[in-house]
Structure 1
Amino acid sequence: MGKYAFKTVCLICCALFMLLNISGCAETPIDAAEKIVPPQNNLVPLEGRWVIMNHITEEPADMHKQSEEQWEGRIMEFTKDTLALDGLRWDGVSYKIKVVNTEEYFLYKYKGPIEGMGITSKDIHVITASSTDKFLYEFIKIDDNKFILNMDNEFFRLEKIMDKVEVLSQKRVPDTDERNLHVLIAQRQTSASGLLLGIRSAEPGSNSADAAFPPKYSYSTLWISWAYEKPGPILRADGIFLARKSGFWRVQVKENKSDDGNRVEDFIEAYSISKKDEEAAYEDSGDPFFWKYKEGTLRKSILYIGNDYISVKKIGAGKYKDSGKNWEQNKLVVLPVDNVSNREGIKISDVMGSEGRISVERAIDALPEDYMPRGLDLWTHEQSFALFRKTGHWFVKGRIDIDEGGSSRYFDYNINLIPPRELVAYDILHLSWTEIKDKIPEALDAFTSPNEDIAVIVTKNSIMLYKIDSGRLSEGPIKKVGLETGASVVMAEWSTGSYVSKWEKIFIRENDVKEMK
């Protein structure tokens, strides 16, 4: 090999060596939705002494006062492998940092506007603290001196008051004392789950096949809870007891009958429990124009109710006063809880945007020629939709009314869009529907807690509570109560952590409850 060739080989080798060094220092792009950030120079992300400031919440003051009083002003201390809080100390602590999308992280954790937390960035750094592989707490970074503490989905501001702590004097939580550790963490973490389950049941004798007698329904709310590895009693109260951002509300369907008995109509009433019955601000007061030329029965049944909206089916039948001909009605509407007197309901595009409107347009275009509605515009069809339960989830359906000769004909179609948060705040099934049906063939519906610790299974005539362990259902139900045949679920509102005991106390205090056996 000549000198020139030898020099060329040396230059190539040097260039390759430098390129490898440069690429070794380069950062490989990772999906920002959840990116693990390696520790740098063994720095402790939260090293030092911190003080818990105010409670961040959208709930009414009386619902979070206890949490705020319990934790405000408490001290948290961190070293390389130790965490201390409120007189207790965990050793063998490790920290994991990940970058997650802000909206995705808070999707089912915090119902208020994220801006209220002082977070403006698209992505956030979330630090998870664990002790001997047992989860303790999560922390969201605002800046080097300000964090947000996530304690069982209750959020507190955390501010640094000292950069370093040499000695932590708090009592150590022994690694071997599993029971003590469980109780300590369970009190403050995800060991408690509670469910307000709204039930619609046909009243006895009202399931007539005759369209002239639309079915009449009654409503009840069940309270199902799980804490400290034990199920609580399943409690029942009449009516719908709804948990909202503004506090607890009561929703009722009442019957109004005319003096001559020729007109029967259901009315929906919704009001905060902080108001008296007679002060109910949101009441469906009926439509005099509707009955001007008719007599008969108009029932309004709740299909779904959430924090802000109610899906309602209006079904009626009777005769026209002048001609004696029959009339029928079978409509779907979605009403704001704050305005149940709204006659027409909201449009699907109000909550699902242009995608909802396009789904309606496509359904109309796909109708057979003889099913094409007469004289009805897109606006009317946009208002005809509702939520239904199927295979453990809420689904959206639209309805096209085809009126012919006074009879009510309609065509239902699926809207293949996930209900937005404005309609359904939480709708996650942590087990596959196939797995549930394989284990419980009679299952008609299922709900799983945000903590992934319990599942509520609904069958034709029972409600069963199962424990979830390592992503699997327990061998058999840990609780089982009877359910009226034909009953269906219209509401499912979950609480976790310290909110479970709060909700239970309010549920018992505000209702005439009975324990179900």
Structure 2
Amino acid sequence: MKIKYLIVLICIILFLCGCNNNASIKPSYSNDKENGNSTPENNNMKINTTESIAKSNIHNKREEIQNRKDKKSSGLLFGLKRTTKNDHEPTEYETIWIAQDNENIIVRRGKGFLSVPYGEVFYKIQNSIYDNKKFSTEADDRSDSASIYNYEYKFHFIDTVAYPFEDKPNEVYYGDISWGDGEWPFRTTKDEVLFVGNKYILINKDYYETGGGTYRASWYSNSLYELKYLGKEYKKNTVDLNNFFDIDKEKLNNYKNDYNMDLNNDDELKGFITHKQGVSTKNPLVTRKNGHWVVALPLEETYTHGGNGSTHTIAKDFLEITDQVSNQLLCYDDLIIPFETIKKQIPEARDAVSSPNGSMLAVLVKDRINIYLYKAKTDQLKEPDYSIRISAEQSVVSNQWATNKYVETWDNTLKKYLTTDKIK
């Protein structure tokens, strides 16, 4: 009997122990709806979801870092000018370097010169001024504003020189210029840069001379040079701009028919004074129009006086002849957004350039350069990412681009010669 009781007792103990062990592996749950607790299956889903989110965040972070490394970047080396009206006052130049670093930009500026890459170095382009004058013994006025009748001679030449930043500018040799050299004693010339690429520079030069009497003469020229010839071998050779574009003969003939005419309406003076207007093919130039470089021909007005020999030729306007210009002259000159579209969205836009890889668009608006980063053709141009102050009178004469790894290379060099501008 005792043995039976003992066996029953042992079975009860073993049963109870088994229940306790099962409780540690699979706990019981109360009513899930009443207590808000998860069932074992839902709890596993929560754990798995959390792990998935963590893995997704890590993946997104890695993807963001990789995208940042792979993201395109650009650097714009802008050359601007402000034209001055006085023949004795040089044209004002400014270089602006805009370097992109993902969503940020660095802006560096240089006043009084232009800069472009040429070969393995950066060239500095600036005015060179020669001023030589002597007052006559009878001069009533010896001030800077004295009329020419107070001088024995007066020469004022504004030329353009170009040289690597590491070098010193070369002096322009004028020889022994003085009254008595067979030329007129009062002469001025003034250079103005019209265009600079990474090899060639186009310069407009205005000339004026007089002897102090009734004779006056003024004329101009547009000459294309390789940059190196504005350095040690100053302006020895010119390049024919006509070699870089094909002239539209039909358009040229139409221009001639529309604009070539005799402006002298006085029949009695026609044999003595000539006054004409005509389209010139001798002095073509490249200029900005609707966000691109185009070739234009000057519409000239010419006046000659048969009595005292005076002659005057001026370019009163410019007529576009073609927008097809050789890549040997120009660098990249396309827009990621057509200028017509830019103009519709920004009516005040007066010029625009964009990078070859499409990561930067710069729009000139009044007295600002507005910078837009990573814009697609269909994007709306609302508020710019950055805005850089300039003069409303400044216009583009050069736009050179560096992309991706070369942006840092250019910046490491240009920061030696340009001043960093704080941009918010």
Question: The TM-score by the shorter chain falls in which range?
Answer: 0.5 to 0.7
Aligned to 2:165: 273
Aligned to 2:93: 219
Cα distance in 2, alignment partners of residues 397 and 382 from structure 1: 9
Q: How far apart are 1:231 and its partner, in Å?
A: 2.1
Aligned to 2:188: 297
The answer to whether the Cα contact below 8 Å between 2:342 and 2:381 also exists between their aligned partners in 1 is no
Q: How far apart are 1:233 and its partner, in Å?
A: 2.6
What SS does the aligned partner of 2:374 have? Answer: strand
Question: Alpha-carbon deviations, 1:149-180, whole Å to 9, x = none?
Answer: xxxxxxxxxxxxxxxxxxxxxxxx99973443
CA RMSD of aligned residues (A): 3.5
The answer to whether the Cα contact below 8 Å between 1:334 and 1:385 also exists between their aligned partners in 2 is no
Aligned to 1:337: 227
* 1:315 equivalent among 192, 195, 206: 206
1:448 aligns with 2:357: no
**CA spacing shift, 1:382–1:335, aligned 2, 3 Å:** farther
1:264 aligns with 2:152: no
**CA spacing shift, 1:291–1:505, aligned 2, 3 Å:** farther
Cα distance in 1, alignment partners of residues 56 and 101 from structure 2: 23
The answer to whether the Cα contact below 8 Å between 2:79 and 2:94 also exists between their aligned partners in 1 is yes
**CA spacing shift, 1:178–1:328, aligned 2, 3 Å:** farther
Aligned to 2:143: none
* 1:492 equivalent among 362, 378, 399: 399
1:200 aligns with 2:81: yes
Q: How far apart are 1:415 and its partner, in Å?
A: 1.6
* 2:295 equivalent among 396, 410, 417: 396
- Structure 1 gap ranges (5+): 1-172, 375-379
Matched residue type, 1:293: W
TM alignment of 1:68-467, pairs within 5 A: 177-187=59-69, 189-202=70-83, 206-207=84-85, 213=87, 216-228=90-102, 230-238=103-111, 239-260=113-134, 262-274=154-166, 276-278=167-169, 280=170, 285=173, 292-317=183-208, 319-321=209-211, 323-340=213-230, 341-342=234-235, 345-352=238-245, 355=247, 367-370=259-262, 382-399=281-298, 401-405=300-304, 406-410=311-315, 412-467=318-373
Cα distance in 2, alignment partners of residues 408 and 328 from structure 1: 6
Q: TM-score, normalised by structure 2?
A: 0.67
Q: How many residues align?
A: 325
The answer to whether the Cα contact below 8 Å between 1:214 and 1:316 also exists between their aligned partners in 2 is no
Aligned to 1:60: none
The answer to whether the Cα contact below 8 Å between 1:348 and 1:382 also exists between their aligned partners in 2 is no
Matched residue type, 2:161: E
Cα distance in 1, alignment partners of residues 61 and 131 from structure 2: 60
What SS does the aligned partner of 1:490 have? Answer: strand
What SS does the aligned partner of 2:393 have? Answer: coil
**CA spacing shift, 1:404–1:313, aligned 2, 3 Å:** same
Matched residue type, 1:450: P
Percent identity between matched residues is 18
The answer to whether the Cα contact below 8 Å between 2:90 and 2:127 also exists between their aligned partners in 1 is no
**CA spacing shift, 1:412–1:489, aligned 2, 3 Å:** closer
Cα distance in 1, alignment partners of residues 93 and 221 from structure 2: 20
Matched residue type, 2:314: R
Matched residue type, 1:200: K
Q: How far apart are 1:393 and its partner, in Å?
A: 0.5
The answer to whether the Cα contact below 8 Å between 1:331 and 1:399 also exists between their aligned partners in 2 is no
Q: How far apart are 1:432 and its partner, in Å?
A: 1.5
* Higher-RCO chain (CA-CA 8 Å, sequence separation at least 6): 2
Aligned to 1:25: none
Q: Pick which of 284-293 and 467-476 moved more.
A: 284-293
- Structure 2 gap ranges (5+): 1-54, 135-152, 265-273, 305-310
Cα distance in 2, alignment partners of residues 264 and 473 from structure 1: 50
* 2:409 equivalent among 484, 489, 502: 502
Cα distance in 1, alignment partners of residues 182 and 408 from structure 2: 47
Flag the structure with larger Rg: 2
Matched residue type, 1:342: K
Aligned to 2:22: none
Matched residue type, 2:228: D
Question: Alpha-carbon deviations, 1:479-502, whole Å to 9, x = none?
Answer: 112111311111110111110011
Cα distance in 1, alignment partners of residues 284 and 369 from structure 2: 28
